[in-house]
Structure 1
Amino acid sequence: MAPVAGEKELPNALPHTTATQVPLRRLQRSMDARHLIMIALGGVIGSGLFLSSGYTISQAGPLGAIIAYLIGALVVYLVMACLGELAIAYPVSGAFHIYAARSIGPATGFTTAWLYWLCWVVALGSEFTASGILMQRWFPAVPVWLWCLIFAAVLFLLNAISARVFGEAEFWFSLIKVVAIVGLIVLGGAAIFGITPLSAEHPPAILFSNFETPDGLFPGGFSGVIVTALAVFYAFSGSELIGVAAGETKDPAKNIPKALRSTVLRLVVLFVGAIAVVAAILPYEQASVTSSPFVDVFEYVGVPFAADIMNFVIITALLSAGNSGLFSCARMLFSLAEEGHAPQRLAYLTKRGVPIVALTVSILIGLVSLLTSIIAPGTVYLVLVSIAGFAVVAVWMSIVASQFFHRRAFVRDGGDIKTLAYRTPLYPALPIVAFALLFISIVAIAFDPNQVAALYFGVPFVGACYLYFWWRHGRKRQADDASAAPVGAGASE
């Protein structure tokens, strides 16, 4: 895992234990910047925007929802700015825990990896289930479980062939979603000013009259905006997938910064633009009762077959998120195995450089997660979902903290920051501000009854990971250090 030119490699926090197959077969750098951008968008844009944006507006009000998404976009930019420097310094697959292990400590890296893996494994089950339910609109006689198996098989094959096939599939999956959102922004934006060429009714210009609700601009108070902003952080989760794919990217020093900048810009335009249009067109009182605000807006502007079009788009969005999630899960397990923190068999690669064992384990556990949502929704599945929700912000905190300590160690060891291919701007203020905002959001969860379960289960899970790491690796390392100590003169390592 060599650093880029001009970058000093930090000492490994724990000796590597690499699988015997790994030196013969490596992950292939076959993805371009456009693949990275669409992978990140694929992980971010999902049912949260297409289905839940109306609920967001009902909680914070039209203007409050826009402000909440702007706050979320700011935090995403701060995290991505930190991620850029780390992803180029350590361009390896499943890199989040590598950043933390090298910059903070091996126990933090271990915990970060398992948090993020669990986050996406749980998401896989929910994506398959939701897709199967939506397919019943067209095929009511086909059971949901059968659709779940079909979708799981398709995503497994896309990931199992090669990283480039996965990247191409994710590019087109994400492109469908982006086209739908751009269509909503363009047609809905014109309708706000009374331009509706597709509509037979031609409603008049409404401008921004819906922003003033019976209870003022902020019907839930500014606290409603803050609580909504917490939910928006989770809505933006997935943007960090660029770091997961760093090890399979061509020319990471060039393509990763380009992808990061483009991803943040696209997220701001797509998310904030879509929310602004939905908030302007849908009356505030109706926002929370619609099944999909996108359907209502498309019907308002006169798009034919709006419900069927959006059903297809939402299914695509769910499968796209599942595709990115499965890729992330496999790379995280592969990277853990390379570090010696998971069974070595998980590091096995096919001739095309695909971690097939890690991929198989991830899809199977994802299906188990799906079963728990049916068999034990109020116990096991609740715990899994709560930890997954907590994991998003916890991983982001790990990224910004890793950048802070990485840069400090780099300068302390005599490194010249001018040689870095990408530098996080405004250091050290930027990572400190980012960490503070994320920490505040974690604390604020305790005051939201709908999200407090994330703390009940997330914090103990983190503690359990640290304890297990110390029990499994800490004591062994102490014993190794004792046995490796020089006995007399001339002893060497």
Structure 2
Amino acid sequence: MSDSVDQHVLAKTLTWRDGMALGLALPTGLFVTFGYLLGVVGAWVAIAVWFSGAVISYLQCRVFAEMASMFPRDSGGVARYAIEGWKKYFAPLGAIAAFGYWIGWSLTISMAAVVFGELIEATWFQDNTLDFGIFGNHLGLEHLFALGAMLFAWAFNYFGLKFGAAVNKVLGLLVVVGLTVVSVACLVSPSIDWSTANLSWSVAGDWRTVAVVFYVTAWAVYAGEIVASFAPEYKDTARDTSKAMSRISLFMIVLFVVVPTALSGGLGEETIRDNPVTYVAVAFGQAFGGASWIGTIVIAFSLLVGMISTTADGGRALFGLAQEGMTIKQLDWVNRWGVPGRSL
């Protein structure tokens, strides 16, 4: 290929295992939603809704894998498929859907970064007094950690997605191992009295409450479609996309049932409700006596994995919009490492 063509073609370097690694951003949804869901519904209700959502996600991913094989050169996944689906009928709807997809994933980066910074500060820098202002905003040490995490995620994407996927494999494996250990500990540890009595079928509200729970759940569990965003970068687009999406979807079904069942049965709904983001750290502390910092590391690694994946996904969605002529045309550019550097 000529250099001019190379600058608009993504590098095909990924396998389905890399796609799964990028999909390991999904446990982040568990950390940031479960504790808050227990504020309005009981654990059994949340788990049942999550199981249903995970099954729907699996079926959706089968459809998206088929679309990836239909449009093997289209970057951006679901956002790009929406454009393709609507362009013959009412193109603005496709543009709106694609923009909503891009901005949704992109805003998630800042949310995860701030939670990451607050976790680090609360665990190891409780006595810091750093405070400064920028344009009327009061910032502290946690925001510096957040900015560092965002730059970390960007760097591991800019210099090749294969590199970012390799980092996700290591961090993601540590997260999965950590969740497995703490889940087993909640079930068998003598210091934790696991019981089904700690889980309830309660609903604190009417049908609208349940609708909101379904929406929040969908936001967390449908994220398996992120794997399709990298379809043009798999060595075998049709096979690798399909394998990665089916496996990450099955993993989600297990994750969103086993982990909340183990932790809510061991800690109780009230404890998780009072610690909506750090309940994994609380579980480590109770199971292993003062080892809550291990749980903090598990959560922090999960947030980093999420930021690497969402940065990559948001960049591909924006790159796809540029390819369709729906945003600044200069964003349709690939750097020497085969990734859309400007869109990142």
Return 5+ residue gaps in structure 2 as ranges. 131-140
Match of 2:183 among 160, 185, 200: 185
In the alignment, residue 220 of structure 1 is paired with which amino acid? Answer: A
Contact 2:40/2:205, CA 8 A, preserved across alignment = no
What pairs up with 1:200-349 in 2 under 5 angstroms? 202=191, 206-211=194-199, 217-220=201-204, 223=207, 224-291=209-276, 292-300=278-286, 302-349=287-334
The corresponding residue for 1:86 is 67
Measured against aligned partners, the alpha-carbon deviations of 1:198-225 in whole angstroms (never above 9, x if no partner) come to: x5xx556x4422235xxxx334377454
Give the alignment's TM-score, normalised by structure 1.
0.61
What pairs up with 1:447-462 in 2 under 5 angstroms? none
The corresponding residue for 1:134 is 119
Measure, in 2, the Cα distance between the counterparts of 1:305 and 1:337. Answer: 51
Q: Secondary structure at the match of 1:28?
A: coil
Contact 1:57/1:279, CA 8 A, preserved across alignment = no
Measure, in 1, the Cα distance between the counterparts of 2:58 and 2:143. Answer: 38
Measure, in 2, the Cα distance between the counterparts of 1:203 and 1:163. Answer: 41
Match of 2:79 among 85, 88, 97: 97
The corresponding residue for 2:27 is 45
Task: Say what the alpha-carbon RMSD is for the aligned residues.
Answer: 2.3
2:339 aligned with 1:354, yes or no?
Answer: yes
Tell me how far 1:241 sits from its aligned partner.
Answer: 0.8
Measured against aligned partners, the alpha-carbon deviations of 1:355-387 in whole angstroms (never above 9, x if no partner) come to: 11111xxxxxxxxxxxxxxxxxxxxxxxxxxxx
Measure, in 1, the Cα distance between the counterparts of 2:321 and 2:55. Answer: 31
Measure, in 2, the Cα distance between the counterparts of 1:290 and 1:333. Answer: 36
2:45 aligned with 1:61, yes or no?
Answer: no
The corresponding residue for 1:149 is 147
Contact 2:77/2:229, CA 8 A, preserved across alignment = yes
Measure, in 2, the Cα distance between the counterparts of 1:156 and 1:51. Answer: 22
Measure, in 1, the Cα distance between the counterparts of 2:179 and 2:206. Answer: 28
Contact 1:32/1:250, CA 8 A, preserved across alignment = yes
Contact 2:10/2:338, CA 8 A, preserved across alignment = yes
Tell me how far 1:338 sits from its aligned partner.
Answer: 1.4
Measure, in 1, the Cα distance between the counterparts of 2:171 and 2:107. Answer: 21
**When the two structures are aligned, how many residues end up with a matched partner?**
323
Larger radius of gyration: 1
The 1:103/1:307 distance shift into structure 2, 3 A limit, reads: same
The 1:343/1:211 distance shift into structure 2, 3 A limit, reads: closer
Contact 2:225/2:245, CA 8 A, preserved across alignment = no
Measure, in 2, the Cα distance between the counterparts of 1:221 and 1:133. Answer: 31
Measured against aligned partners, the alpha-carbon deviations of 1:452-486 in whole angstroms (never above 9, x if no partner) come to: xxxxxxxxxxxxxxxxxxxxxxxxxxxxxxxxxxx
Give the alignment's TM-score, normalised by structure 2.
0.86
Looking at both structures, which has the greater relative contact order when contacts are Cα pairs under 8 Å and sequence separation is at least 6? 2
